[in-house]
Chains A and B, each alone.
Chain A
Amino acid sequence: NAGVTQTPKFQVLKTGQSMTLQCAQDMNHEYMSWYRQDPGMGLRLIHYSVGAGITDQGEVPNGYNVSRSTTEDFPLRLLSAAPSQTSVYFCASSESSGAIYNEQFFGPGTRLTVL
């Protein structure tokens, strides 16, 4: 199993550009989520999904869109990039958010810089 994969690893955008961060998992996990990690702020939840076709907002959803058309994929879209979105983005998945055992598996991250 590849686990959780994220592409790209690095990205530089100009203000106002749009892009999609890709996340895929091959573990048939129901629950997937996106976090951003900024220095001194820990991980903050952007959006999450408890299954295909279901998404919900986390703590910092503004400026980001998600969709979950398949169990495997959970892309994160930046509609109009802003310098405040410069961060490291992590995708994670788990068997089920409601399961007793819900260890999160993390991808390697995407380091995004918005100029």
Chain B
Amino acid sequence: SQQGEEDPQALSIQEGENATMNCSYKTSINNLQWYRQNSGRGLVHLILIRSNEREKHSGRLRVTLDTSKKSSSLLITASRAADTASYFCATDAGGNTPLVFGKGTRLSVIA
């Protein structure tokens, strides 16, 4: 399976600090995506990074991708209490292969 594995499983930080979550995967990928899930809700797409990209930004989010190490990181800068959620990485190998999700990182931002 090319399932991504997020690390750490859980992370607790103070408001205003930066939060970094990592994702490792096993096989070559086409794209890697990050999603957020608030408690009891569906997942919401945050950012997509293609295999030929190394870094991408969206607001307070910064995603990096290292295909040689088969890993990605999601950085949330200046975190807020509203960032409290679970964060998942998801990978696909292109074509009609389905998206495969990791088990997620639970982020708690304490005000």
Chain A residues packing against B (C-beta within 8 Å)? 4, 33, 35, 40-45, 48, 50, 56, 58-59, 90, 92, 97-98, 100-109
Contacts of B104 in A (CB 8 A): 42
Contacts of B41 in A (CB 8 A): 108-109
Question: Is A109 within 8 A of B94, CB to CB?
Answer: no
Number of A-B contacts (CB under 8 A): 64
Q: How far is the CA of A104 from the CA of B99 in the complex (A)?
A: 9
Q: How far is the CA of A100 from the CA of B31 in the complex (A)?
A: 8
Q: How far is the CA of A90 from the CA of B94 in the complex (A)?
A: 22
- Contacts A59-B1, A90-B43, A102-B92 hold; do A45 and B98 have CB atoms under 8 A apart? yes
Q: Which residue of B lies closest to A91 (CB)?
A: B42
Most buried by B among A35, A42, A90: A42
The one of A48, A100, A108, A109 in contact with B98, judged by C-beta atoms closer than 8 angstroms, is A48
Question: Is A42 within 8 A of B98, CB to CB?
Answer: no
- A27 nearest CB across to chain B (Å): 13
- A13 nearest CB across to chain B (Å): 20
